[in-house]
Homo-oligomer: A and B are copies of this chain.
Amino acid sequence: MAIAVERIVGPFLQGGLVVTTDKPARCPKSMMVREAGHPLPDYRGQKAAHEILQLVDSLTAQDLILFVLSGGASSLLSAPSPGLTLQNKRETTRALLRCGATIREINIVRKHMSAIKGGRLAAATPATIYALILSDVPGDDLSTIGSGPTAPDPTTYEEAFAILRRYRIWTALPRAVRHHFQRGLAGTIPETPKPNTPIFRRVHNCIIGNNVQAASAISRQARRLGYRSLILTSQLTGEAKEVGKVLGSIGKDIDRIGRPISRPACIILGGEPTVTVHGSGKGGRAQEVVLGAALAIASQRKLWVAGLGTDGRDGPTDVAGAVANDRFVAQCRAKGLDPHRLLAMHASYACFQAVGGHIRTGPTGTNVNDVYLILAP
């Protein structure tokens, strides 16, 4: 995104600061680049966040900020509220991840422990902000993407406190964290900037890429190739292997009753299924969805299921995703593999490695969640 900004409006830029994960493949030439920790924030991210806050604080109402934001910023930009340490935030985040809080809930808490999230970046400068946002959040909620540094935050200290209580981690939190939330509840430290406050008259948040666009592009390409196409959702959630069964269920009726559309059919779903890991196998959510679907369609004919992460990386593997057809399960068994068992062990990678079907794109540099296809040519 930064490289694209440099290419398009480079001559007008007075400076720039990029915060990214370790070892970016390419960097913009005219901007400072900072690497920082992800998915757990680190001190490098904290330093970068303070640099950004100083930079925007030095601007005037005549200045214009182009703020390009994509998923992952929640951990890359870490500026603990006064009185809190990064360690406090990390411990709180870890406790929330462990107890099964949703990403939305985790972000509500994080936004109320931050000097940059929940709209506080926008509040820290008098400049006009154009935020160009790539959404990795199903539904594109501005206050959730990267914890919404430039978005109004409708959530409150009360809600954050309720989440910490609901998951029963409140009493286990560091004293400084509890003290911070108690001050928030008492109103002695400022809330995040709320919708309809004057700050947001000079802030323009634009979604420039999301899962709907990816799904629509696939749909257009499918039609160009002669398929009927149908987008079912861009907000797919659920345990990956069970989502796979549902995809299989839908695929199976294309021939039998011509529903939801008849051949040649391309059914598209976007979103982000989850994997609750029990074993230590190698795999990713897209590979699990595809293997789950492959098991469901094993008795069909000429039916394909594919899935991939748009960032080019499916879980902790070197592939973007996978594709399988109605013969895939038989091919696994012919290689001596038990796909049921491997799926249960979260070791889907091995099946595609043995039979073929891995999709390799390399890192794409952007993330608009996953896309899944049911294909009946």
Q: Chain B residues near A271: list those with CB within 8 A.
A: 249
A172 within 8 A of B: no
Partner among B233, B243, B250, B253 whose Cβ is within 8 Å of the Cβ of A253: B233
Kindly specify which of A31-39, A255-263, A319-327, A356-364 makes contact with the partner chain: A255-263
Name the interface residues of A295-314: CB closer than 8 Å to any CB of B: 296
| A252 (CB) vs chain B CBs: closest residue | B235
B252 touches A232 (CB 8 A): no
Q: Chain A: interface residue count, which band?
A: 20 to 34
Interfacial residues of chain A within 197-240, with CB under 8 A of chain B in the complex: 212, 230-239
**Residue A117 at the chain B interface, CB threshold 8 Å:** no
Q: Is the CB of A245 closer than 8 A to any CB of chain B? A: yes
**What B residues does A235 contact at CB under 8 A?**
249, 252-253, 256
Q: Residues 119-148 of chain A: 1 if any B CB is under 8 Å from the residue's CB, otherwise 0?
A: 000000000000000000011000000000
Whether A248 is near chain B, meaning CB under 8 Å from some CB there, is: yes
A91 at the interface (CB under 8 A from B): no
Q: Please tell me which one of the listed residues B242, B257, B259 contacts residue A243 in the complex, with CB atoms under 8 A apart.
A: B242
Closest beta carbon of chain B to A307's beta carbon, Å:
14
Which B residues are CB-close (under 8 A) to A139?
A: 252, 256
Q: Chain A, 254-278, contact with B by CB distance < 8 Å: what is the 0/1 string?
A: 0011011000000001010000000
Partner of A238, one of B138, B233, B245, B269: B245
Is the contact region of chain A dominated by helix, strand, or loop, or is it mixed? Answer: mixed
- Chain B residues with Cβ below 8 Å from A257 are 212, 231, 234
Which residue on B lies nearest to A234, using beta carbons? B253
Q: Are A232 and B260 in contact (CB under 8 A)?
A: yes
**A246 CB within 8 Å of chain B:** yes
Residues on the B chain within 8 Å of A252, using CB: 138-139, 233, 235
Please, how many angstroms separate the alpha-carbon atoms of A242 and B273 in the complex?
10
Contact B239 A239 (CB under 8 A): yes
B237 close to A246 (CB less than 8 A)? yes
Known contacts A139-B252, A237-B296: A231-B245 contact under CB 8 Å: no
Residues in chain B near residue A250, CB distance under 8 A: 232-233
Tell me the bound Cα distance from A231 to B234 in angstroms.
19
Q: A139-B256, A243-B242, A257-B212 are in contact. Are A237 and B231 (CB under 8 A)?
A: no
Can you name the residue of chain B whose Cβ is closest to the Cβ of A300?
B139
Q: Which residues of chain B are near A239, meaning CB under 8 Å? A: 239, 242, 245
The 3 closest A-B CB pairs, nearest first, are: A242-B242, A238-B245, A238-B242
Task: Sample 11 A-B pairs with CB under 8 A, ordered by A number.
Answer: A139-B252, A212-B257, A231-B259, A232-B253, A232-B259, A233-B260, A234-B253, A235-B249, A237-B246, A242-B242, A246-B246
Given contacts A138-B249, A232-B260, A237-B248, 14 further A-B contacts (CB under 8 A): A138-B252, A212-B256, A230-B260, A231-B260, A232-B253, A232-B259, A233-B250, A233-B253, A233-B259, A234-B257, A238-B246, A243-B246, A246-B246, A260-B260
